[in-house]
Amino acid sequence: MKAPRNKRLMGKRNPRRNRQKFGGFFLFLLVGVFLLFVFRFSYIVVSGRINDENLTEKANALYESSTVLRAKRGTIYDANGSPIAEDSTTYSIYAVLNKNYIGVNKKKLYVTDKAKVAQVLSKYLPLTQAAILKRLNPANTKTFQVEFGSAGQGLSLAIKQAIEKANLSGIYFTETPSRLYPNGIFASHQIGLAQTKTSTTNNVAAQNLTGTMGLEKTLNSTLTGTNGIKEVKKDSYGYQLPNTKTKKKAAKNGKNVYLTLDTRLQTYLESLLTTTQTKYDPVEMNAVLMNPKTGQIVAAAQRPTFNPSTGSGLGSFWRDTLVGDAYEPGSVMKAFTLAAAINSNKYSPNTTYQSGSISIGGTTVHDWNNSGWGTLPLSKAFPYSSNVGFVHIEQTMGKTTWLNYIKKFHFLNTTNSLLAGELKGSIQFEHTSDQAVTSFGQGINVTVMQMMQGFSAIANDGKEMQPQIVSKVVDPTTGKTTKYKPHQVGTPITKSTADQVLKAMQDVTYKSYGTGQSYQIPGYKIATKTGTAQISSANGGGYLTGSNNYIFSVVGMAPANDPKYVLYITMKQPQKMTESATQILAGVFDPMMKRALDYDAGTVATATQTKMPSVSGKSVTAATAALKKKNLQVVQVGTGNTVVQQMPLAAEVVLDDQRALLLTNGAMTMPDLTGWSKSDVLKLAELTGKKITIKGTGYVTKQSLAAKGLLNSATKITVTLSKP
């Protein structure tokens, strides 16, 4: 019984046998690991990948440097070839403070002389030496680099080059592509805006300009070029490796776009609207000047607007109201009602009616003066702008015929004008009362461009022209030109009908009972139609009340016998209605139409307009001399002797005797604002970044901060305007 137990003990105590077993297992494990290593290594060699990363690409990345060659965005020009929007480059400055930032041969690449840096930068940035030194000595001593806020951003090439000449250690610049809009406020919502966005070319990120509104957006694919790429093999020090070639794919620039806008007339229109906005403060205002023979838009503007170069005024108002607002046009619609009635042989001018009021479909329609003018022939309904008369005209014509002409004039459809965000409009036409009120511009919603398209038929012998703002596109690489020819969308009325409507529109201007007498222009025959449209309340409960709660409008065609221009102006809810709506609109219409007609006749010189020179970076003395040669009023804001910013911007169109504001280095100081307009005060606020409270209307008579007082961050500024 003991022998088996001894055998088991001997087996457990046999070290040689145990070692053999362990050795075999270890060898098997070692062979397995070796095979796994061989397999893994073979996979890496064959595939060139590890952990889903391409080793070849990573190795090449150590020695290859790729640079994006940025394509130039196409330039937008006016009708005469002057640039409206073009590519530019701005620079931002920063300072490296970390003393570990050392280059080849232990060259110090950080700021070594803070006092010198502060002294030099104070000449070119709107910051004092003390303010700059404070930034160069941050509380956190481990800070690698510092920037200088908005004062150090958006610098011009001239300012950058001037700072670089001082050879300041530790001072660097970043480059940002930007879009230059040299005319400032200039059909801003129609031209639009291009802003910087990051895109990738061959895995290399680059900043590019992308259209975000207006024509910059709708024509983005046309204006945008294709970036190129430059690849160079370099060593660890950044030098190109010998016997290697540079690979380069050239950039393809975007195409240039030419518009129909005339800078002379556009600038004048903007000036007139700014004056009206400042004086009467309308909620919205639109104005369009068009050549009805071609449909080409010569000038177009809206309020509110913004300066695309600075972003001032943009806020949240991105809508192009010429196509993006649908509104009830009011009595200017009567021009189309009259045209439809005449053209359909449903107009009896000698038929009389009782003005004042009429009941239709359970609704009572009143004339604008409520009591009317007694018994009138239908021929006087148009110059009197009688709503009751036009209800009679619509009833005689019939709802089917009238709706057919609304469609013939291409209302309820977009004009395809290339402007962004265009609406189709709408109509209420179910009930008899709905049909009746559309005859005088209620119950139908239109856009400004739809109205312009319709007006062209009346001014152009019955031929309706599509509104056109782009004249051609040119490829700068090949020279290929694509022209946008005038496009006739239809012939809703005959030449005879158009002539009769123009005659009726002259009655509006020249008859003693016409509503458009304020739009007479000496030396020219003018055909007009006025409008006063009610505004629907926000809750849908009828229309707003109050003397200013209307959309006031006027359309004019001149010369009346053969119109070369159609000018249409709308003004919504002027908040400071110190004059009648007709007087306010005439303040824009009369000088604008006269200027256009005078230009056409060759009787106006253009010497009153010039381009703002670039004076940033120059001494105050040199800048003042240059601006006075342009007949501009020079206003210095600051105690320094070098100009760091200017307003208006370089290349903007300016008028004789316009104020030019120069922000200098050193402390900002308050100029004497006596006699300044509201728009000039707003420019000062934009230039200095200070909030200025404006009270009253007219021109500045008082200012809370005296002239030459310091404009520091704690300063509260109030200016008082009074009428002369």
Token pair of 372 as six digits: 């009317």
pLDDT at 426: 97
Does residue 304 have a cis bond before it (omega within 30 degrees)? yes
pLDDT tens for 177-209 read 888 888 889 999 999 999 888 766 556 556 788
Average pLDDT rounded to a whole number, residues 283-289: 97
pLDDT at 249: 80
Q: What residue type is assigned to position 407 of the chain?
A: K
3-class SS at 345? coil
**331 is a catalytic site residue:** yes
Average pLDDT rounded to a whole number, residues 3-26: 58
Report residue 203 CA to chain centroid gap: 32
Outline where 92-184 has alpha helix (H): 114-121, 129-136, 157-164
- Residue 359 clears pLDDT 50, i.e. is over it: yes
Residues facing residue 597 across a β-bridge: none
pLDDT at 18: 63
Residue 24 pLDDT level (bands cut at 50, 70, 90): low
pLDDT tens for 83-105 read 999 988 888 999 999 999 988 78
Ramachandran sector of residue 438 (left: φ over 0; alpha: ψ -120 to 50; beta: rest): alpha
Token pair of 183 as six digits: 């005319």
pLDDT at 123: 87
Predicted model pTM: 0.77
C-alpha to C-alpha distance for 617 and 164, rounded to whole angstroms: 13
Q: E strands of 168-233, at which residues? A: 171-180, 193-201, 204-213, 228-233
Asked if 158 and 112 count as a contact pair (C-beta separation under 8 A), the reply is no
Token pair of 111 as six digits: 């700021």
- Higher-pLDDT residue of 589, 668: 589
pLDDT at 15: 63
A 10 A CB-CB count for 366 gives 14
pLDDT tens for 675-689 read 888 778 888 887 887
Residue 629 pLDDT level (bands cut at 50, 70, 90): confident
256-259 and 76-77 as β-strands: parallel, antiparallel, unpaired? parallel
Token pair of 211 as six digits: 């259209």
- Residue 171 clears pLDDT 90, i.e. is over it: yes
Average pLDDT rounded to a whole number, residues 515-540: 92
3-class SS at 635? strand
Average pLDDT rounded to a whole number, residues 318-335: 96
C-alpha to C-alpha distance for 548 and 509, rounded to whole angstroms: 23
Q: For residue 627, what are the contacts with CB-CB under 8 A and spacing of at least 6?
A: 613, 615, 634, 660
pLDDT at 311: 80
A 10 A CB-CB count for 417 gives 24
Catalytic hit among 331, 439, 553, 677: 331
Report residue 200 CA to chain centroid gap: 26
- Residue 407 clears pLDDT 90, i.e. is over it: yes
C-alpha to C-alpha distance for 602 and 147, rounded to whole angstroms: 54
pLDDT at 549: 94
Share of the chain above pLDDT 90, in %: 57
Token pair of 587 as six digits: 């303040």
pLDDT at 607: 44
Outline where 366-477 has alpha helix (H): 381-384, 387-397, 399-408, 432-437, 448-459
pLDDT tens for 115-127 read 999 999 998 888 8
Average pLDDT rounded to a whole number, residues 319-327: 95
A 10 A CB-CB count for 412 gives 16
pLDDT at 667: 79
Average pLDDT rounded to a whole number, residues 157-170: 90
pLDDT tens for 529-545 read 999 999 988 776 788 98
pLDDT at 16: 65
pLDDT at 723: 65
Q: For residue 654, what are the contacts with CB-CB under 8 A and spacing of at least 6?
A: 609, 610, 611, 612, 630, 632, 648, 660
- Residue 37 clears pLDDT 70, i.e. is over it: no
